[in-house]
Amino acid sequence: MKTYENLLTEKKEGILTIVVNRPDKLNALNKKTIAEIGEAVAEGNNDPEVSGIIITGAGEKAFVAGADISEFSSYSEQEAAALSRHGVEVFFSIERSAKPIIAAVNGFALGGGCELAMACHMRIASETAKFGQPEVNLGLLPGYSGTQRLVQLIGKAKALEYLMTADMIPAVEAHRLGLANYVVPAAEVISKSTEILKKIATKAPLAVAAVIRSVNSHFAYNEDGFETEIKEFGKSFVTEDFKEGSAAFLEKRKAEFRGK
């Protein structure tokens, strides 16, 4: 694996763990860190030994506590728009990853950190985790798709409430709203994420990727999710994994998928 300036990475038992490693800044996202996250996710997707990815933060206080305001406080309108576009593109690469990505939210997930977590396919939160989009406190709005994904996950009315009040969302409430898949003790966020990814790894990789593409197409303005599902369903019938899966079912044995 490549060595990164602001990330730690570890590959173990088919799972790539990406740790945002700026604990002195509560893992705040600067431009370099966002770019490195994109590179690490791409590396995981291109590695045949990797079946799933976990993104988490270093230390016990924060997953990612926001963007690094000191970096962009003097930006022009054009520079700010370019920063936003870059973040949106990297977070799209997470959302569109063919391999499942789980955010192990071990503390504050605020601003860009909340947006990073929402770009992942699932979120496992520690009992002390807090989510939020506090940008209006700075005279801003979320710039890395926060206004879009929060609506998708918890609905328009509640999303507008949290986006406009800047209130934080405690882990238990995040779970109730559908923002967090599970809430677990802090010591178990990685193990719970690993448990889910290992279960997914026993399924057909091409089918998992097709599920991700089909679900994402539901929210894409220029795609018909129903048509995407129909096409993906048809394509699955000519894969070796389908032949193996159907044969294993009929023969009452465990399937051995190869991702082909």
pLDDT at residue 226, as a whole number: 94
Amino acid at 149: R
User: Which residue from 65, 67, 70 is spatially nearest to 84, judged by alpha carbons?
Assistant: 67
The pTM score is 0.95
- Token pair for residue 175? 């779970």
pLDDT of residue 225: 92
Count of other CB atoms within 10 angstroms of residue 105: 33
Mean pLDDT per block of 10 residues along the chain (260 residues) reads 94 97 94 97 97 96 89 90 96 98 98 98 98 96 97 98 98 98 98 98 96 94 91 94 92 91
Give the count of beta carbons closer than 10 Å to the beta carbon of residue 122: 17
Active site residues: 115, 135
Looking at residue 91, its pLDDT comes to: 98
CA distance 102 to 168: 21
Provide the pLDDT for residue 165: 98
Q: How far apart are CA 236 and CA 169, in angstroms?
A: 39
Query: Looking at residue 55, what is its pLDDT?
Result: 98
pLDDT for residue 212: 97
Which of 81, 124, 87 minimizes the C-alpha distance to 104?
124
In our burial notation (b when 16+ CB lie closer than 10 A, e otherwise), range 57-88 reads bbbeebbbbbbbeeebeeeeeeeeeebbebbb
Predicted pLDDT of residue 71:
84
The distance in angstroms from the start CA to the end CA of the chain is 24
Angle, alpha carbons 52-105-4 (nearest 5°): 60
Q: Give residue 67's pLDDT.
A: 83
